[in-house]
Structure 1
Amino acid sequence: MDTEVLVVGAGPTGLTLANELRLAGVPVVLVDRLPRRSTLSKAGGVQSRTQEAFDQRGLLEPLLATGNHPAGIAHFAGITLPLTRDRHRHPWRSVPQVVIEGFLEQHLATQDIHVRRDHELTGVAQDEDGVTATFASGGVIRSRYLVAADGGHSTVRSLLGAEFPGRPGTVTVVAADVRLSGDDQAMTHTRSEDGHWASVFPLGTDPRGRPLRRLSLGGPGRSLPREVPVTEDELRVGLRAVFGDRVRLLELRYARRITNAARQAARYRHGRVFLAGDAAHVHLPIGAQGMNTGIQDALNLGWKLGAAVHGWAPEHLLDSYHAERHPVAAAVLRNVQAQSLLMDQQGTGDPDLLAAKDLFATLTKLRDVQYHLDDLLSGMGIRYPLPGTEAQPLIGLPAPDLNLGPVRSHELLRSGRGLLIDPAGRFAKVAAFWPDRVDRAGQDAGVEPMLIRPDGYVCWAGDPDALEPALGHWFGEPH
């Protein structure tokens, strides 16, 4: 083997996965077809759950130190959810994708992992022992596993002939990174009486400290083919149709047309090849859910591949990647499609649709409705269907951040191993059989015992007799 894992695609998903494999002590090669890193931000927000995961790796604080990344208020279909502002330890933040990619790539470089650029994949073949990837340059890389993180038009997925069912795009809207005059820092979704609409939310600042915005525009007659370039005049006309003279375009940095296509791979695992990120699911980019879902794919898969490479993965572990992540992305597609409908992307002005949105907006004033929608959007409501979920409400959920005396529990997950919270010291003998895979900690008798997977999800709590089976289920045979 040239490497244990080959990751194709150096976007947020691929870079996060490479870091997880590094943490697991697994040799990894990361390739990308682009000759240099993109300067374009396809996404611009980081959910609460993704921030927690970065914090569990010691990456959140240095990432936020890269610039001005303001906290924002969640929204659903442009309807703000103010009651959720202080609900999570880490609020939704505006961090452009290009910033995240640059930060992760530099972090990997300090660990001597460098993206191999200008690597255009042309062939994938696998056998019982590994995967052979061939490239347009004539190069060949042999690996034990391969992960496709190469985007919505995934070459790997095409070469596999993997099913990618769903709906093709029926409408396009404009997405642009701009500087504007006259708008404020808050996320806004504004519609004119004739159906034209604009969404604006902050992207932080440029190198000179000037505010940047992500602007989306749509409405009657604005759905043009994706290949038609977006011009400054088009943006000015669209802004004028919605805001009149209140908001003006100062600078256009980047613009593209996006569609409401919604597709999801039927299977995330194909033998020794796995699909992750946009290679596994695509949808209209609302709330940066695509980028965040892809990062969470990588966090779920990384430690499992590490376990397989090191030889202690239980037989079911790699299959659990699809079982856990496929339903999550399916739910994201559903909520995005609902948001797209309520936002009336085409500006039809359908009175039935407007009546439905008015009723929905009234319902969102209720706290429980806002909390439910926030669970969908923040990633904090994800609950994997793990053994024991029926009997214990913590199992399957993201682990709480616990005070364990001199440290907090999220700091102990930076090892990339599992974590057994054992406040009363009752489980030392059991945990001793997995010393290289599970750390043990806990000094506060008021904390509930629990077992946390390397990706930050609780996989055991409560029943003492169920701990040893849970350790074996997630961390393999005892040492």
Structure 2
Amino acid sequence: MDTDVLIVGAGPTGLMLANELRVAGVPAVLVDKLAQRSTLSKAGGVQSRTQEALDQRGLLEPLLATGEYPAGTAHFAGITLPLTRGRHRHPWRSVPQVVIEGFLEQHLAAQGISVRRNHELTGLAQDEDGVTVTFASGEVIRCRYLVAADGGRSTVRSLLGAAFPGRPGTTTTVAADVRLSGDTPAMTHARSEDGHWVSVFPLGTDPQGRPLRRLALGGPGRSLPREVPVTEDEIRDGLRAVFGDRVQLLELCYARRITNAARQAERYRHGRVFLAGDAAHVHLPIGAQGMNTGLQDALNLGWKLAAAVRGWAPEHLLDTYHAERHPVAAAVLRNVQAQSLLMDQQGTCDPDLVAVKDLFAALAHLRDVQYHLDDMLSGMGIRYPMPGAGDQPLVGLPAPDVDLGPVRSHELLRPGRGVLLDPLDRFAKVAALWPDRVDRAGQDSGAEPMLVRPDGYVCWAGDPDDLEPALTHWFGEPASASGGDGITSRTPR
């Protein structure tokens, strides 16, 4: 084998997966067909759950230190959800995809991992032991596992012949990074009576410190073929249709047409090949859910691949990647399609649709509705199916952040291992059977005992009799029977 894991595609998903494997000490090679990293912003926001995951690896604080990335308020189909402000430890933030890619690539480079560019994949074959990949240059790489993170037009997916059912794009809207003048709010969703609409939210600042905005616009007659270039006059006309002369375009930095295509791979695992990010699911970019879903694909898959490479993964573990992540992306596609319909992006002003949106907007004033939508959009409501969960409210959800005195519990996840919170110091003996995979925190925090997977999800809480089965299910057969002193109780500094 040339490497244990080959990652094809150095976008956010591939870069995050490479870091997850690095944390676990598993060799990986990251390739991309582009000669240099894209400078296009593409997605523009980081949801609460993704920020938690970055924080668990010690990456969030240095990422946010690279610039000014304002927090925003959640919205659904342009309907703001103000009651959700402050619900989660990390609010939605406007961090452009290009910033995240640059940050992760530099972070990996500092650890000795560089993206191998100009690597266009042309052939793929797998057998019982591994995968053989051929590139346009003639280079051949042999790996144990391959992960396709090469985007919506994935070459790997095509070579696999993997089914990618769904709906092709039927309409387009404009997305652009701009500088604006005038009195438009930093974040707004505005519509004219005749159906033209504009959405604006902050993107931080450009290299000169000037505020940038992500702008999307549409309406009657504005769905043009994807290949037609977006012009400054087109954007000025769209702004004028909604704001009149109150808002002016100062600079157009980047623009493209996006479609409402919605597709999802039938299977995320094909033997030793896995699909992740846009290679597994594509949809209209609303709320940066595509990028966030891809990043969380990487977080879910990374520790499982590492376990397989290291030889302790239970037989079923790699299959849980599809079982857990496929329903999440399917739900994202559904909520994006619902938002697209409610936003009436083509500006039909259909009275039936207007009536539905008015009713929905009224319902969205209710606190429980806002909370439900916020949990769905932020990723905080994701609940993975866990064996033996029963009626335990925490199991399957992201782990709460517990104050352990000198540290908080999310910091214990930085080595990429499982964590057993044991506030009453009852489970040292059983935890010691997995000394190479699980760390135990025995501080009396007042929290209930829980077992947290490396990706930050609770996989056991409650009944002590269920702890050992949960450890075996997620962390394999015990590596040690040495008793109560075989595990290190960790307190990161």
TM-score with structure 2 length normalisation? 0.96
Name the counterpart of 1:149: 149
Is this contact kept in 1: 2:421–2:451, CA < 8 A? yes
Name the counterpart of 1:437: 437
Name the counterpart of 2:325: 325
Deviation at 1:185, TM superposition (A): 4.6
Cα deviations by residue, 1:155-198 (Å, 9 ceiling, x for unpaired): 10011000000011111000000001114453211111111111
Is this contact kept in 2: 1:72–1:186, CA < 8 A? no
Is this contact kept in 1: 2:404–2:445, CA < 8 A? no
Name the counterpart of 1:413: 413
Give the secondary-structure state (helix, strand or coil) at the position aligned to 1:95.
Answer: coil
Aligned 1:45-444 pairs, distance under 5 A: 45-444=45-444
Q: Which one-letter code corresponds to 2:225 in the other structure?
A: P
Q: Which one-letter code corresponds to 1:73 in the other structure?
A: T
Q: Which one-letter code corresponds to 1:229 in the other structure?
A: P
Misfit runs of 4+, over 6 Å: none
Give the secondary-structure state (helix, strand or coil) at the position aligned to 2:73.
Answer: coil
Is this contact kept in 2: 1:185–1:202, CA < 8 A? no
Is this contact kept in 2: 1:187–1:200, CA < 8 A? yes
Deviation at 1:405, TM superposition (A): 1.9
Give the secondary-structure state (helix, strand or coil) at the position aligned to 2:414.
Answer: helix
Is this contact kept in 2: 1:404–1:442, CA < 8 A? no
Is this contact kept in 1: 2:184–2:247, CA < 8 A? no
Aligned 1:28-47 pairs, distance under 5 A: 28-47=28-47
How many residue pairs get aligned? The number is: 479
Is this contact kept in 1: 2:403–2:445, CA < 8 A? no
Name the counterpart of 1:14: 14
Give the secondary-structure state (helix, strand or coil) at the position aligned to 2:133.
Answer: strand
Is this contact kept in 2: 1:196–1:242, CA < 8 A? yes
Is this contact kept in 2: 1:388–1:395, CA < 8 A? no
Deviation at 1:445, TM superposition (A): 5.2
Q: Which one-letter code corresponds to 2:29 in the other structure?
A: V
Q: Which one-letter code corresponds to 1:13 in the other structure?
A: T
Q: Which one-letter code corresponds to 1:152 in the other structure?
A: G
Give the secondary-structure state (helix, strand or coil) at the position aligned to 2:242.
Answer: helix
Name the counterpart of 1:449: 449
Distance 1:255 1:445 in 2: 50
Cα deviations by residue, 1:61-118 (Å, 9 ceiling, x for unpaired): 0000010000000000000000001100000000000000000000000110000011
Q: Which one-letter code corresponds to 2:162 in the other structure?
A: A
Distance 1:220 1:185 in 2: 24
Distance 1:314 1:362 in 2: 49
Q: Which one-letter code corresponds to 2:271 in the other structure?
A: G
Distance 1:146 1:246 in 2: 52
Distance 1:121 1:326 in 2: 25
Deviation at 1:407, TM superposition (A): 1.1
Give the secondary-structure state (helix, strand or coil) at the position aligned to 2:285.
Answer: coil
Distance 2:419 2:374 in 1: 28
Unaligned runs of 5+ in 2: 480-493
Q: Which one-letter code corresponds to 1:137 in the other structure?
A: S
Distance 2:17 2:111 in 1: 14
Deviation at 1:391, TM superposition (A): 2.5
Distance 1:149 1:88 in 2: 29
Q: Which one-letter code corresponds to 1:298 in the other structure?
A: A
Cα deviations by residue, 1:292-348 (Å, 9 ceiling, x for unpaired): 000000000000000000000000000000000000000000000000000001111
Deviation at 1:390, TM superposition (A): 2.5
Deviation at 1:355, TM superposition (A): 0.7
Cα deviations by residue, 1:192-220 (Å, 9 ceiling, x for unpaired): 11111110000001111111000001011
Distance 2:224 2:3 in 1: 44
Distance 1:170 1:191 in 2: 22
Deviation at 1:393, TM superposition (A): 1.0
Give the secondary-structure state (helix, strand or coil) at the position aligned to 1:45.
Answer: coil
Distance 1:446 1:414 in 2: 22
Cα deviations by residue, 1:416-435 (Å, 9 ceiling, x for unpaired): 00000011111000000100
Distance 1:183 1:306 in 2: 51
Q: Which one-letter code corresponds to 1:348 in the other structure?
A: T
Cα deviations by residue, 1:133-171 (Å, 9 ceiling, x for unpaired): 111111111100000000001110011000000011111
Deviation at 1:447, TM superposition (A): 1.3
TM-score with structure 1 length normalisation? 0.99
Distance 2:184 2:252 in 1: 18
Deviates further, 385-394 or 74-83: 385-394
Give the secondary-structure state (helix, strand or coil) at the position aligned to 1:415.
Answer: coil
Cα deviations by residue, 1:365-397 (Å, 9 ceiling, x for unpaired): 000000000011000000001112333111000
Deviation at 1:265, TM superposition (A): 0.2
Distance 1:199 1:271 in 2: 42
Q: Which one-letter code corresponds to 1:8 in the other structure?
A: V
Deviation at 1:289, TM superposition (A): 0.2
CA gap of 1:185–1:203, structure 2 versus 1, over 3 A, is: farther
Q: Which one-letter code corresponds to 2:240 in the other structure?
A: R
Name the counterpart of 1:473: 473
Question: What is the CA RMSD across the aligned residues, in angstroms?
Answer: 0.7
Is this contact kept in 1: 2:402–2:445, CA < 8 A? no
Distance 1:120 1:398 in 2: 37
Unaligned runs of 5+ in 1: none
Is this contact kept in 2: 1:423–1:447, CA < 8 A? yes
